[in-house]
A and B are shown apart, each in its own frame.
Chain A
Amino acid sequence: MAASSASPSQAGMFLRILFKSLKVRRNRVAITFCSVAIGASIITALACVYFDISAKMSRELRTYGANFFIGPKAASGERSMGSQTGQAALQVIPPDKLIGASPYLYGLVRLDLGNAVLAGVDFPGLRRLSPYWQVEGEWISVSFDEDSCMVGKHLAKTMELKVGDSVNVMHAENGFQKRLTVKGIAETGQAEDDQIFVNLALAGKVLGVPGEVNHIMASVVSQGTDIDTLAAQLEREFPNLDAKPIRKVSYSDGKILDRIKGLMAIVAVIILSVTTLCVMTTLIAVVSERTREIGLMKAIGADDRGVVLQFLCEIMIIGVAGVTAGLGLGFLLAQVLGQAVFGSAITFRAVVLPVALIPSLLAALAAAALPVRMALGIVPARVLKDE
């Protein structure tokens, strides 16, 4: 640059001092850059997850069972409804909010060794509704399989059934019977452990009520009270049906979510404080190192404004670079978190930008406050005479 004979402008000289000063301290600059980048990336990742979590968490918690019930109006005294009506009612739930749903038709049947409750279901829907079932053998994968059944673990034990065995299912009153292969044995820890499951169509034939269902259970993604709105809408469109959220689960969803969000906010604040302290320590070391240089600059005519400007610009350059890198890293980190915790990608939301940027940059400035004061307090007469 000395090869060019033009005089640098004031701004050019300012930048030259700035970059040479950063270059000569590249180790400290690197440490500060990394601290800011790591801090900002964690804040960004948490913010990404935070704003995406309601949907994701709710979906995740929904895998722990049904939270929505559709059945014939209780007041009408009906015990079942038409399967077509049930399917039509399900259409009211927006497809992107419906995790899974299955109709249920119950009845008492005779097996080889005793009586049991037969449940007719839609297996693909049931599987999405209850992914937590522990199944030995296999799930029945299609809804038209009329030769297989699944048996609850407790029932399998009393009936001495194993995967691959065949079992005779018979209705005591109408005498309909059919031999079925046990495809899977399910453990749920609940009433299902004592039931035998077949496809709805087959159950209709066995029980002599084809095309009927007792009720439908669904798993619906919900936030706040939108599930109540959904129930009301469904009942308006189908006056003969009852639709209601299964309250307890939805409520605790929200509570867990709030706690997790609170936890994330606390973690974010802690990370930010630690980063701020780390950056501050480095900057204090930098000011101590540069005491003489700053004293000299003051002695040859730098005023307070000049000293602060140079120092803050150095910090802001590192800060902006660090935060920018942190934003990118943070979004990647959010994807890793999303895959690990929710098994899905995290959507980037614009609100993350200010939420991550502003506190990160403020933290960098806060970290600079004390070092800048130290720099201003330097008395040239004192520091320049030290041997």
Chain B
Amino acid sequence: MQKIVLETVGLTKRFGNVTPLDGIDMQVREGEWVAIMGPSGSGKTTMLNILSCLDTLSEGKYILDGIDTSQVSEKERVVVRREKIGLVFQQFHLVPYLTALENVMLAQYYHGMIDRDDAIEVLNRVGLSHRYDHLPSQLSGGEQQRVCIARALINQPAIILADEPTGNLDESNEQIILDFFKELHAEGRTIVLVTHNPELAEFADRTVRLHHGKVVQHAA
């Protein structure tokens, strides 16, 4: 058995009287590919924000690679996120005045080590070999999302957290990204992927279904 890298115990999140997450127990092992599914508003994004340390939980525990995240300071959470996690957002968030290459190098910059050749190689991997010097506004949605994925991968994170990475893409772009996740999985990365798309979920080792903030099914 692989070691557990993500573990939530009774994870609860409240916004005032809204409780989008209500006592979630979940474990993800090293190298596992887990899909999180559920209807809109079921708490998927909220869950991913907590898993990526972008948000804090209200009750319960979240242990990331042996670190109890609710016990550490905001500063340390930033470091944990930077070191261990690659994030892909539901929208394609890029810095609008930096080129594709610079957006990828930005992640290296915050990580403390800029390597232009590495950044180019990752952009090549996502099929953007001739788009380095384009601004986000000069790229298609699919291309922008691929830049986001390149940025998430550039620092070789052990864990990849993606929130509907193909939600706004057409089929051919979806296929490119799906293939890419397969590759990453084969490399042994841990992947947590939020998706509406059952086809995408099929390739995961297992699916966690959320409904009204509760886990309704752990499927193989």
Binding site for B on A (CB under 8 A): 2, 5-10, 13-14, 16-17, 20-21, 23-24, 292-293, 296-304, 306, 379-381, 384-385, 387
Question: Which residues of A are found within 8 Å of B112, using beta-carbon distances?
Answer: 10
B68: interface (CB < 8 Å): no
Number of B residues near A (Cβ < 8 Å) is: 37
Question: Which residues of A are found within 8 Å of B125, using beta-carbon distances?
Answer: none
Question: Which residues of A are found within 8 Å of B89, using beta-carbon distances?
Answer: 299, 384
Of the A-B pairs whose beta carbons lie under 8 Å apart in the complex, a sample of 22, sorted by A's number, is A7-B114, A7-B117, A13-B105, A13-B114, A20-B102, A24-B97, A293-B96, A296-B95, A297-B106, A299-B81, A299-B87, A300-B106, A300-B107, A300-B110, A300-B151, A301-B81, A301-B107, A301-B110, A302-B110, A380-B54, A381-B49, A385-B90
Contact A300 B87 (CB under 8 A): yes
- Nearest A residue to B94 via CB reads A296
Not counting A299-B52, A299-B54, A306-B110, a sample of 10 additional A-B residue pairs whose C-beta atoms are within 8 angstroms of each other reads A9-B114, A13-B114, A14-B109, A24-B97, A299-B87, A300-B82, A300-B110, A302-B78, A303-B79, A381-B55
Question: Which residues of A are found within 8 Å of B97, using beta-carbon distances?
Answer: 20-21, 23-24
Q: How far, in angstroms, from A9 to B97 measured CA to CA in the complex? A: 19
Contact B105 A8 (CB under 8 A): yes
Question: Which residues of B are found within 8 Å of A8, using beta-carbon distances?
Answer: 105, 114, 116
Question: Which residues of A are found within 8 Å of B96, using beta-carbon distances?
Answer: 24, 293
Question: Which residues of B are found within 8 Å of A379, using beta-carbon distances?
Answer: 54-55
**Smallest Cβ distance from A324 to chain B, in angstroms?**
25
- Nearest B residue to A306 via CB reads B110
**Smallest Cβ distance from B81 to chain A, in angstroms?**
7
B183: interface (CB < 8 Å): no
Interface centre among B79, B91, B112 (most CB of A within 10 A): B91
Question: Which residues of A are found within 8 Å of B106, using beta-carbon distances?
Answer: 13, 17, 297, 300
B180: interface (CB < 8 Å): no
Contact B45 A385 (CB under 8 A): yes
B3: interface (CB < 8 Å): no
**Smallest Cβ distance from A260 to chain B, in angstroms?**
49
Question: Which residues of A are found within 8 Å of B101, using beta-carbon distances?
Answer: 2
B133: interface (CB < 8 Å): yes
**Smallest Cβ distance from A121 to chain B, in angstroms?**
76
Q: How far, in angstroms, from A50 to B95 measured CA to CA in the complex? A: 48
- 1/0 contact string of B24-41 vs chain A (CB within 8 Å): 000000000000000000
Contact A387 B55 (CB under 8 A): no
- Nearest B residue to A16 via CB reads B102
